[in-house]
Structure 1
Amino acid sequence: MSQTLHPMLNVAVKAARAAGSLINRASLDLDLLKVNTKSPNDFVTEVDQKAEEVIIETLLGAYPGHGILAEESGRTHGAPHSEYVWIIDPLDGTTNFIHGFPYYAVSIALAYRDQIQQAVVYDPTRNDLFYASKGRGAFLNDKRIRVSKRTRMSDALIGTGFPFRKGDNFKRYMKMFEDVMVSCAGVRRPGAAALDLCNVAAGNYDGFFEPGLNPWDIAAGSLIVTEAGGLIGNFTGESDYMYQREVMAGNPKIYAQMVGLLKKYSRVIADDAKPAGIGAEPLDAADADAKNLPDWSPEAALAKAEAEAQSPEALAAARKKRAVRIRKEDVAPKGDAQG
């Protein structure tokens, strides 16, 4: 790699390549792989865990005072109160990996005071390295990448991801999917959000949207998109997306048109006058249980209020609480939203 990288980015690249080598070796004999189920359709393999271990060992070996937020181990490693936090998905696209479908990646990002500063997404099957440092542009291997220049939604290719866990609101998603599908040239769902965001950055997709994602799915890709000249946010188009479990990205022109299509489905909006079937649809009690939401979470409060048909005042309070940004300290690992 001829380009001089930021020292912290250099360490992240080293960690990503080490994890990628481990993943490639394991992919040669998938029949021997031990697969566990975290929840229905949500898998973790010994490869996820070993890859995460080698990443954390590499990062903390260089920066022992930094914090860690990782998909499989959460915050159990690193310094708990550091202003520097590495956000790690050791294998984004586990379901693809298990089935030998070559679309998965290692995702590593460094946040300083909640702002992503360094990002690496490594595709081990193609040996493609996407990376970015804040203010220095986005790259694929040694080549600078930029978002596409398409301006019309009717010409756009859009990436997405489907809900797949018990309790996910699939009917709501299908309405969203239909609105986008009839407005664009095509929709694709390969199954790894980190790579999907990199494809937006490289101009292969003109836009991307998905509900239900966790910070480790999108942290690295988010910086790569913005450094490539793209925009990323929640379904209302605002920049508060990392912990809101909904994300949308695209080149500026397509992004603006996607906001027009998706904002009515945003779970961020606290709108008590919203008609039935729009936006954050009520969760029934079974859905609330299936999500295994922590009692303290704003989403759990909203689910409880709606499930128990509480008064309009109580429901409004729950929605208002849900609309407040969930601080990263409160995010607990729930698995790979891409499988």
Structure 2
Amino acid sequence: MDQFIQDIVREAGEAIRPLFLNTGVKYTKNGEHDVVTEADLLSNEILTSRIHGAYQDHGIISEEIPEEHWQTDREYTWIIDPLDGTKMFATGWPLFGVMVALQHEKEIELGAIYFPVTDELLFAKRGGGAWLNGERLQASSRERLDSSFGTASSWSGKWVSPKEQRRRLMAYMEAMLSRNMTGMSIWAICVSVKSVAEGKQDWMFTGGQWWDFAPAKVILEEAGCLVTNGDGKPLVLGEARGLIAANPSLHPQLCDVLGLSCGE
């Protein structure tokens, strides 16, 4: 299945590449920023049909499949974000990717992300490392947050109240000033995962959904990151409580900056 997951993300990505700058928003789901394009639907159709064709007894969870049709009771489950960064895609920014993970019972075993514009394929296997176009990746070795560089996003999700979200973001902004940290925000988790796994950025925190976090988890861990949910606690299968990732030296410092207690 190692090669299969890489083949299908590439196939889906190559299929939607011609639609970039040539298709608009088809409809919205949960607000004006939660958009769906023809590319989302085409990628989803390719991925699901290939998986069903090769592994009829496997389950599928996809952002573009209604929750009542998710198959979560199988030994193997494929978790799909057919087009991560749809808002960027729809507004003409070349910052998007196709994300797929394979869950075996209680572990994410494989993760793959394909970036159609740059023809880059990010792949990880539990215990086998993280790779970008065949080159092994290693996360940043920075030991202090001072002067570090990362990606920050809101903790979008019902588990964080607006008041708590403001508190965390204000704590982050204060740390940016007092510790000379540099941060950026991109509406595409796949881009942040790639940058942190490559060591080009030192850390990331973000909201999102399980189809964002499943491939991110195995890729970032195999690159040497500590990955938790947005509260600094262990990331639980299927939950959407945010994600924090950094190397083991920086992760507790980042949690401390945000006023979170890491660990169990």
Equivalences for 1:103-182 in 2 at 5 Å?
A: 103-162=95-154, 169=162, 171-182=166-177
Out of 36, 39, 53, the position equivalent to 2:30 is 39
In 2, the alpha carbon distance for the partners of 1:78 and 1:171 equals: 33
Instruction: Give the C-alpha shift of residue 114 in structure 1.
Output: 2.4
Matched, 1:240 2:235: yes
Out of 182, 185, 188, the position equivalent to 2:181 is 185
Query: TM-score, length-normalised on structure 1?
Result: 0.70
Matched, 1:201 2:197: yes
- The letter of the residue matching 1:22 is A
- The letter of the residue matching 1:51 is S
- Map of 1:10 onto structure 2: 3
Contact 2:172 2:258 in 1 (8 A): no
In 1, the alpha carbon distance for the partners of 2:88 and 2:161 equals: 20
Instruction: Give the C-alpha shift of residue 234 in structure 1.
Output: 2.2
Instruction: Give the C-alpha shift of residue 80 in structure 1.
Output: 4.8
Change (3 A) 1:241 1:157: farther
Equivalences for 1:275-290 in 2 at 5 Å?
A: none
| Deviations, residues 30-85 of structure 1 (Å, cap 9, x unaligned) | 3xx34211122211112111111101111121111100010010456675521111
- Map of 1:258 onto structure 2: 254
Instruction: Give the C-alpha shift of residue 125 in structure 1.
Output: 0.9
Q: Residue 146 of structure 2: SS of its match in structure 1?
A: helix
Change (3 A) 1:59 1:151: same
- Map of 2:14 onto structure 1: 21
- Map of 2:61 onto structure 1: 69
| Deviations, residues 187-223 of structure 1 (Å, cap 9, x unaligned) | 0112211221221111011000113x11001111110
- Map of 1:96 onto structure 2: 88
In terms of Rg, which structure is larger? 1
Query: TM-score, length-normalised on structure 2?
Result: 0.89
In 2, the alpha carbon distance for the partners of 1:186 and 1:44 equals: 31
Bigger mean CA offset, 66-75 vs 88-97: 66-75
Query: Which has the larger share of strand?
Result: 2
Change (3 A) 1:110 1:74: farther
Contact 1:137 1:228 in 2 (8 A): yes
Instruction: Give the C-alpha shift of residue 184 in structure 1.
Output: 4.5
Instruction: Give the C-alpha shift of residue 175 in structure 1.
Output: 1.8
| Deviations, residues 216-238 of structure 1 (Å, cap 9, x unaligned) | 01111110111111110024433
Q: Residue 233 of structure 1: SS of its match in structure 2?
A: strand
Equivalences for 1:314-333 in 2 at 5 Å?
A: none
Bigger mean CA offset, 142-151 vs 195-204: 195-204
- Map of 1:308 onto structure 2: none
In 2, the alpha carbon distance for the partners of 1:100 and 1:109 equals: 26
The alignment yields a C-alpha RMSD, in angstroms, of 2.5
Q: Percent identity?
A: 31
Structure 2 regions of 5+ residues with no counterpart?
A: none
Matched, 1:224 2:219: yes
Instruction: Give the C-alpha shift of residue 168 in structure 1.
Output: 7.3
- The letter of the residue matching 1:119 is G
Structure 1 regions of 5+ residues with no counterpart?
A: 1-7, 270-339
Change (3 A) 1:136 1:165: closer
- The letter of the residue matching 1:175 is M
